[in-house]
Amino acid sequence: MRSILQNIYGKPKGEAAFSRITAVLDDYLEKHRVGKAAAFSQSDVILITYGDTLFREGELPLQTLHRFLDEHVKKVFSGLHILPFFPYSSDDGFSVTDFIMVRPDLGSWADIRSIGGRFRLMVDLVANHVSAESRWFRNYIADRKGFEDLAIEVDPSVDLSSVTRPRSLPLLTEFKKHSGRGVHLWTTFSADQIDLNYRSLDVLENMVQAMLFYVSQGAKIIRLDAIAYLWKEIGTPCIHLKQTHDMVRLFRRILDMVAPQVALVTETNVPHKENVQYFGDGSDESQMVYNFTLPPLLLYALTVGNARVLAEWIQTLSTPSPATTFFNFTASHDGIGVRPLEGVLPPSEIDRLADRVHRNGGHVSMRRRADGTESPYEFNITYFDALKDPGVANDPFHIARFLASQAVALVLPGVPAVYIHSLLGSRNWTAGVETTGQARTINREKLSADIVATELADSRSIRARVFQSYGNMVRVRVRRPAFHPGSGTQVHHIDDRVLTVQRVCRDQTLYALTNLSAEKLTMTLPNVEHGLVLTDLLSGRRFKAEDIHMAPYEVLWLEPGSTPKLHKQHGKGYLMGY
């Protein structure tokens, strides 16, 4: 830890930082035991939700959520990511006013601990910024001791054109301090979200204390939100800087020392090559990274009914060690990120997706490039509605196409994560967008828990049809060792319309086939003996390897009657097979 701090701050200041952080860790260790190292298996599947996505009159939302989990998903999901549940002023929780409080209208830390006792709890460390309405910022404005250097002050005449911008908003926001002095502050995401100045040891100490407080309340995974922008150096893009990676190493080192049972996951909505840099050397940065290329590329594959580009990309997936893996998701509280498609799809095909999103009632958010032009940043639409055929009024394959997309995320190497609105087959919340004026509101609808329960009890409803099929896939997955994050993975080409992923471990071989088209198909499984009988784990149907029939958008998870030898093709290995 000392060497990391000296790399960030230089020797004298690094020593001062080491003394302060060591005191924080000593205080933590006086009250808490050191756990066992974090590890993931095929049984890990994480549900993502806001604390108040589900509500019931007369009941605090965290208690409503806990009841829903117990009644519907406790035997399906092992982990739960509750999006920021702290007091906030904007951005649906990501402009935090108090890092160590639970919103009273949601519940209490006792509610969080209770849920954490049943599920592997994932909590956000919103490390990049703080609310302009927070006590911390008020203390900065008043020049109070310990907060003088909270924010990043910049001369507005300085050339900041090289800074990477995630949103088409001003980078600097003007404020007036109590002394009367005007300051221009760095605000990467909005005028209400003040970027924290990690050159200040007070900021560093406060954020380390916040992270360890979450651990003390039951967090088993810490999500580092928007971490790529953490450190700023004028004259650079101010994204993925060395000091930012050193800060991730510092957070990891701290957890390894006092809470090794807690894993880090980095949220960096950027092209894949940049994204995986946050694995570090496989032991010193995050254990998981969000697999941001998957959602838009999977949407593309199902739009064109062709698996080729998706399959080629999957074959490139690798991590630097058995201790690292991908956080595989298709939807989240944000939109579908577009930047991860850079270098994967040509602009014309990205425009094709944007057109589909518009035709299905969604929105396309833009960002400003360094040259002043704008390009798509994310698609704002529920993943369920993104997969509707916009040319068909009553799309007969809508649900099947959506479930096919979710099946792909479940079979890839990594830990699957499921957004609650995907689990429930939610539609676009256009009324919410009209109310807030924010495109991201479209997939953040608040739902009556009682109405959801009624819909889930009706086998004809969209929610029930999606929920039951989704739950069945997850239940099958978590019992199969071949789906372990570290099991071998190979992609086979049978037909351009079918994604065929083979997962292999010592005890099991599985072939996961997903028909990405609206066509009925018959095919032969490659590299297996003629006459081999395979059983579909999802339906119980049996097939011969040379006579596999698939309905439009059908998903088959095939297990051989006897495990065949895996024929390793020239130039292709078992990516991520340790």
CATH number of the domain within which 540 lies: 2.60.40.1180
389 is catalytic: no
Q: Is the residue at 57 inside a domain?
A: no
From 195, 225, 246, 536, active-site residue:
225
Give CA–CA dist 91/188, Å, rounded. 13
| Residue 572: predicted pLDDT | 34
Pick the closest to residue 293 from 260, 268, 265 (CA basis).
Answer: 268
Q: Is the residue at 511 inside a domain?
A: yes
Give CA–CA dist 506/574, Å, rounded. 13
Residue 329, helix vs strand vs coil: strand
Please state, as a whole number, how many other Cβ atoms lie within 10 Å of the Cβ of residue 215: 21
Residues 6+ apart with CB under 8 A from 373: none
Strand 79-82 with 120-125, pairing: parallel
Q: Is the residue at 382 inside a domain?
A: no
Give CA–CA dist 325/265, Å, rounded. 10
Which one-letter DSSP state was computed for residue 293?
T
Contact present, 497 and 305 (Cβ < 8 Å): yes
Q: Is the residue at 390 inside a domain?
A: no
| Residue 562: predicted pLDDT | 44
Q: Is the residue at 88 inside a domain?
A: no
| Residue 570: predicted pLDDT | 32
| Residue 373: predicted pLDDT | 78
Task: Copy the structure tokens of residue 30.
Answer: 């006086």
- Which amino acid, residue 267? E
Give CA–CA dist 521/496, Å, rounded. 11
Contact present, 249 and 257 (Cβ < 8 Å): no
Q: Is the residue at 133 inside a domain?
A: no
Q: Is the residue at 555 inside a domain?
A: yes
Q: Is the residue at 518 inside a domain?
A: yes
Which one-letter DSSP state was computed for residue 278?
G
Please state, as a whole number, how many other Cβ atoms lie within 10 Å of the Cβ of residue 178: 11
Q: How many CA atoms lie within 13 A of 535 on its CB side?
A: 7
Which whole-number Å values give the CA distances from 230 to 272, 276, 417, 526, in the listed order?
A: 19, 17, 25, 47
Residues composing the chain: 578
Number of domains the chain is built from? 1
Please state, as a whole number, how many other Cβ atoms lie within 10 Å of the Cβ of residue 33: 8
Each residue's pLDDT expressed in tens, for the chain with a length of 578 residues: 999 999 999 999 999 999 999 999 999 999 998 988 889 999 999 999 999 999 999 999 999 999 999 999 988 999 999 999 999 999 999 999 999 999 999 999 999 999 999 999 999 999 999 999 999 999 999 999 999 999 999 999 999 999 998 877 899 999 999 999 999 999 999 999 999 999 999 999 999 999 999 999 999 999 999 999 999 999 999 999 999 999 999 999 999 999 999 999 999 999 999 999 999 999 999 999 999 999 999 999 999 999 999 999 999 999 999 999 999 999 999 999 999 999 999 999 999 999 999 999 999 998 877 677 788 889 999 999 999 999 998 999 999 999 999 999 999 999 999 999 999 999 999 999 999 999 999 999 999 999 999 999 999 999 999 999 999 999 999 999 999 999 999 999 999 999 999 999 999 999 999 999 999 999 999 888 888 999 999 999 999 999 999 999 999 999 998 443 433 333 333 333 32
Residue 25, helix vs strand vs coil: helix
Contact present, 311 and 301 (Cβ < 8 Å): no
Pick the closest to residue 60 from 116, 99, 112 (CA basis).
Answer: 112
Radius of gyration of the chain (CA): 24
Residues 6+ apart with CB under 8 A from 555: 403, 404, 407, 473, 512, 513, 514, 515, 538
| Residue 166: predicted pLDDT | 83
Which whole-number Å values give the CA distances from 439 to 94, 214, 386, 402, 455, in the listed order?
A: 16, 30, 14, 22, 26
- Which amino acid, residue 69? L
CA geometry: angle 403, 404, 410, nearest 5 deg: 90
Packed helices 242-258 and 201-216: angle between N→C axes, nearest 10 degrees: 40
497: containing domain: 489-560
Backbone angles phi, psi at 213, to 5 degrees: -65, -40
Q: How many CA atoms lie within 13 A of 199 on its CB side?
A: 10
Give CA–CA dist 322/121, Å, rounded. 22
Residues 6+ apart with CB under 8 A from 30: none
Region of residue 445 (left: phi > 0; alpha: psi -120 to 50; beta: else)? beta
